[in-house]
Amino acid sequence: MRIPIIAGNWKMNNTIKEGIELIEEIKKSKLNKDVESVICVPYTMLKDAKVAVKETNIKLGAQNMHYEENGAFTGEISPLMLKEIGVDYVIIGHSERREYFKETDEDINKKIKTALTHNIKPILCVGESLEERESNIQEKIVNDQIEKALKDVNASKLENIVIAYEPIWAIGTGKTASSDDANEMLVSIRKKIKSLYDEKSSEVIRLQYGGSVKPNNIEELMSKSDVDGALVGGASLKADDFIKLLNF
Ligand code: PEP
């Protein structure tokens, strides 16, 4: 059985003080134990956030990392550094990193493999642009991203990988893919995993939808056959909204 997973991506928001206040608000509510809750915070507050989530079921995630363990990569953070803090998850290949920081599929593949080597679970982001969706090539685009990201990744690792399907046109725009469209893409991703690996692998890997997920659409999305969770940007910055999402 796949455990539902709701992850918040705070992006470049919140000082340490603001972030800890937000975590404390979330901690005050009774969270559904059957849902895995993850918060992906900026690097600067990972250590404090780790202390704040201690003795809760909330898991901690980073939003990126380098694929090397150390070296001359000014400004980068390595998997060893994340591991030292006790980070459970790391977002890899978010569309903002692909677009603004020119991350390639090859970089993403290296990051996925390094994260797995260090027992940090990657949340791999994939998704098509508006233009690609309008040309009806979204399945090809996403399947291609997945094949490249998972190159040389062993089937035994798939239970530790989450794939977040995030159509770029739905991120931070208020436009959500309909629950049927989102599910259709996740069904297609599962089919792709089956063709790259096998049936068992396609059944264990968890698939999220991301793109303007809010309290008013989470229930409908989560009712779909292949939606195992959500990756949430904007709504994860508001305690009330995020609590509603975690308790969908
Ligand atoms: C995201 O950035 O991963 C995201 C889904 O953002 P939002 O929920 O704000 O659309």
Q: Residue 154 gets which letter from DSSP?
A: -
For the CA of 164, the nearest atom of ligand 1: 3
94 part of the active site: yes
Residue 162, pLDDT score: 98
Q: What is the pTM of this model?
A: 0.97
Which amino acid, 69? E
Q: Which residues contact 75 (CB under 8 A, 6 or more apart)?
A: none
User: Which of the listed residues 12, 39, 171, 236 should we mutate to test ligand 1's pocket, taking the one with most ligand atoms within 8 A of CB?
Assistant: 171
pLDDT tens profile 62-106: 999 999 999 999 999 999 999 999 999 999 999 999 999 999 999
What pLDDT shows up at residue 176? 81
DSSP string, 187-203: HHHHHHHHHHS-HHHHH
Quick one: which of 196, 120, 202, 109 has its CA closest to 158? 202
The ligand 1 atom nearest the CA atom of 91 = 3
Other Cβ atoms closer than 10 A to 32 = 15
pLDDT, tens only, 94-117: 999 999 999 999 999 999 999 999
For residue 149, report the distance from its CA to the centre of ligand 1, in Å.
20
Nearest to 127 by CA among 111, 146, 150: 146
Q: Which amino acid is at 146?
A: I
Query: Is 99 an annotated catalytic residue?
Result: no
Tell me how far apart the terminal alpha carbons of the chain are, to the nearest angstrom: 18
Ligand 1 contact, 171 CB (< 6 A)? yes
